[in-house]
Copies of this chain bind each other. A is one copy, B any other.
Amino acid sequence: MPPFNKHPATAPDIGISPDQYQDDIFTGFEGPEKLLEIWFSPSPYTRGTELPENPTVRLNQDLRSIPLEVITEMLDIVHCKILNTTSNEYFDSYVLSESSLFVYPHKMVLKTCGTTTLLLAVPKILRIASEYCGYSVPYRAFYSRKSFMFPKAQVYPHTDWTHEVSFLNQYFENGSHYMIGGSNSDQWFLYLTTPNMASGSLMNLNPNGVQQSGLNGVPHHKDTTIEILMTKLDPKTMEKFYIQPDQPEGAIGGRNLEKVSGIDKIYPEAIGDSYMFNPCGFSMNGLQGEHYFTYHVTPEEQCSYASFETNIPMETLTENGTIPLQQALQKLVSQVTDVFNPGKFSVTVFESQPIEEHLKSYHLNIPKVPKYAFSDRILYQFPDYSLRYAHFVRE
């Protein structure tokens, strides 16, 4: 992430906010990101009258066909710029001046930090999805973030969780929102809608050959988001996230830092696209088949923060089923936290579930991590998603 002195502070006078239980004196850069996913169809291959034999075929209603200049206009509203772009057969990945954008045929994942105005782009995204891809209504939406470090520096509609919810409700139907975790830990906020079955995108659905286990007959296409949000990073460990006089910034510096930090060991087969900011900060997008992962690091001690996010399913962590899921998750969390050595962090595992599994008795299987104690562990079970959350503090 870019160093914080690039971002002038604004301090609007806001009402009572859950965020304000945190320190609200503006003293640094807001690393914690806003994360928006807008889906226009339940999966990349449920569009059109026939399922394509090759799921990588680009159908006519494909968000990836939106011109780059239109994506850029959308990002101007958010107040961030494209630094680099990488694509594979499944999706387009953008490293931004403030975090990341991933564009799939059927969904857009936009993550931005600092005082960016992510939600102001919602009407533009809906308009261009309609104009360029014929998506008349969105299928569903998710918006989440942790509590801000410096809430008074945010600008509307990010001035308060209730403002964000009201804003989202202008554009999405059947939204509900949750405040997860206790006041003594970092809280995590989630807004999600139910699937919009009136979405024209589903009218032509031909589910032959696709597992019939979704909501109202929509095929269940497994969706996972794992996030590890870290604060109070060890200053000694963070030294390598500052640029040295003889080191390059940008993509080359980023690639070097992947190796120096050990990030390259976690998904060694991924295509990486990383960026080293001057004088400090780091962002990386990784592409692994149809899945992504992304890191963003703000190393300054007064506002240190690092985030890891991926949609690589939990099951791929089990090394072909040879290690239990819980142990695989523990290994991933340990690998990521070893890179940053945080004082505190939260883990969220947000997973879609076939509707017939809704009645099962769920496990809260976020494991303990060596050197850390957890305060709260939480399981939310929604009709077609589950959320596992745990907050850890260094022992």
Contact = CB atoms under 8 A, between A and B. Distances in A.
A378 B377 contact: no
B364 A361 contact: yes
A216 interface: no
25 contacts: A15-B15, A16-B16, A16-B17, A16-B160, A16-B162, A174-B184, A176-B184, A177-B182, A178-B182, A326-B361, A359-B368, A361-B363, A361-B364, A361-B367, A362-B363, A362-B364, A362-B379, A364-B364, A364-B379, A364-B381, A375-B383, A377-B381, A378-B378, A378-B379, A378-B380
Nearest to A191: B183
A332 interface: no
Contacts of A261: none
Contacts of A359: 368
A269 interface: no
A141 to B, nearest CB: 15
A165 interface: yes
A23 interface: no
B378 A381 contact: yes
Contacts of A176: 182-185
A25 interface: no
A239 interface: no
Interface string A364-389: 11011000000111111111000000
Number of copies: 2
A126 B378 CA distance: 32
B381 A376 contact: yes
Contacts of A181: 178
A179 B180 CA distance: 7
Interface in A151-188: 160, 162, 165, 174, 176-179, 181-185
Nearest to A14: B16
Contact of A15 (B16, B165, B368, B380): B16
Contacts of A184: 174, 176
Interface string A322-362: 00001000000000000000000000000000000001011
A160 B362 CA distance: 33
Interface string A112-140: 00000000000000000000000000000
Given A177-B183, A179-B179, A377-B381, 4 more contacts: A165-B183, A176-B182, A178-B181, A363-B363
A182 B380 CA distance: 10
Contacts of A365: 361
Nearest to A381: B377
A177 B367 CA distance: 23
A186 to B, nearest CB: 12
